[in-house]
Amino acid sequence: MPRYFTRDHEWIEVDGPKARVGITDYAQSQLGDITYVDLPAVGATMARGDSVAVIDSVKAASDVYAPAGGTVTAVNAALEEAPELVNASAEADGWLWELDLADPVELDELLDAAAYTDFIAGL
């Protein structure tokens, strides 16, 4: 499944009209130990760039932005009891929400893995 990245350090993995969203390993490493994740409600709609979730860590609280618009179909309920999953596995088990994409064309404006790697190398 194709995976895209934002300059705000979110990733989105796409499977047809559906997608899964999380933060990158780089983002979780910058946040430090994650203590709480405030996820969107199932059924919530979002536009690309909207602040959709908040991640609290020992360092700060950080907004998570929607890399693409759509409707939330699921959230990672495991994060309620174990927010540290984001630290342990930010780009796999620590995913945040799933959505039905509103407009897959929005993905064209995101970075592929190579471009994201170049982007963080320049930070």
Mean pLDDT calculated for residue range 19-36: 97
Distance CA 27, CA 37 (A): 14
Give me the pLDDT at residue 103, please. Answer: 96
Give me the pLDDT at residue 65, please. Answer: 98
Which residue from 9, 7, 2, 1 is spatially nearest to 90, judged by alpha carbons? 9
Mean pLDDT calculated for residue range 90-116: 97
Give me the pLDDT at residue 7, please. Answer: 97
Length of the chain: 123
Q: Report residue 15 as tokens.
A: 């499977």
Determine contact, residues 67/98, Cβ cutoff 8 Å: no
Mean pLDDT calculated for residue range 83-96: 98
pLDDT band at 14 (very low <50, low <70, confident <90, very high): very high
Q: For 3-121, CATH number?
A: 2.40.50.100
Give me the pLDDT at residue 67, please. Answer: 98
Determine contact, residues 19/8, Cβ cutoff 8 Å: no
**Over the chain, what is the mean pLDDT?**
97
The radius of gyration of the chain's CA atoms, rounded to the nearest angstrom, is 13
Determine contact, residues 46/97, Cβ cutoff 8 Å: no
Q: Report residue 75 as tokens.
A: 């959230």
Query: Which pTM was predicted?
Result: 0.96
| DSSP letter, residue 92 | T
Which strand (E) or helix (H) includes residue 114? Answer: helix 113-121
Higher pLDDT, residue 59 or 42: 42
